[in-house]
Amino acid sequence: MRSLMHQAGHKAVQFRPAAPEDALQAVPLMHSSGPAAFDYVFAVPGYSDAQAFLRQAFTDGAGEFGWRNHVVGELDGAVVAVGAGYGGATKWPFTLAAARQILGHYGWRHATGVIARGLRVESVIPPPTGAMHYLAHLAVSPSWRGHGFGSALVGHLLDTTRAAPRDPVILDVATTNPDAQRLYQRLGFEVTGERRSTLANRQGRVPDHRRMQWRAPA
């Protein structure tokens, strides 16, 4: 598959489909896109942290967290951005893949709790349905934020989306991340709703989230 180049300031970011060997660089970025929610669901004190599960799922390749569902942005050979885009038709295949990955990583003793927490998070960050096309796990390396790489990442995902022209392109952003919301607004996304969260455990609190929808230029 071809890779795409996007100019971000004076640097060129090369986007390409992710690969299993990207796990060590891509997974910390994925986790940074929503650390509170990831830790709430996947961190099991004394057994596993969230990134350990995400590395396994990413390397496995299947489902929402698998490498096949992601693109990465490279700069000078290093992964500096990651993101995913997928539609409502993925709901059940992704659910089955996640259940298999969770059971394989945590075993029966902890898997039921992880799955239950994941389902609760869906009340705050619901998966796409129907004709929606959803952008997720959007992240840029901290050392390269503010250089246009986030805009380039979203632009790449919009350019390569398989959504029909009239299908809504959506994402969710935590209310605790106003910088990301401002970026998405500059790129043409509008807030369409907000979901309150009461989810919390020893790993932290899942913040309220706003749903945003992209409006294609006239």
Q: Where are the domains of the chain?
A: 4-167
Residue 218: per-residue pLDDT: 60
Tens digits of residue pLDDT in 91-142: 999 999 999 999 999 999 999 999 999 999 999 999 999 989 999 999 999 9
Q: Which fold has domain 4-167?
A: Aminopeptidase (3.40.630)
Q: 3-class DSSP state for residue 18?
A: coil
Residue type, 7: Q
C-alpha to C-alpha distance for 174 and 170, rounded to whole angstroms: 14
pLDDT-derived band at 216, boundaries 50, 70, 90: confident
pLDDT at residue 165, rounded to an integer: 63
pLDDT tier at 5, thresholds 50, 70, 90? low
Return the SS3 of 50: helix
Given a cut of 90, whether residue 47 has pLDDT beyond it is yes
217/87: higher pLDDT = 87
Rg (CA), the chain: 17
Q: Residue 35: how many CA atoms within 13 Å on its side-chain side?
A: 8
Of 70, 74, 43, residue with least CA distance to 58: 70
Is the pLDDT assigned to residue 15 strictly greater than 60? yes
User: Which pTM was predicted?
Assistant: 0.92
In the chain, % of residues over pLDDT 70: 92
Q: Across all residues in the chain, what is the average pLDDT?
A: 92
Whether 1 has a pLDDT exceeding 50, the answer reads no
Q: How far apart are CA 49 and CA 128, in angstroms?
A: 26
- pLDDT, tens digit, for every residue of 63-73? 999 999 999 99
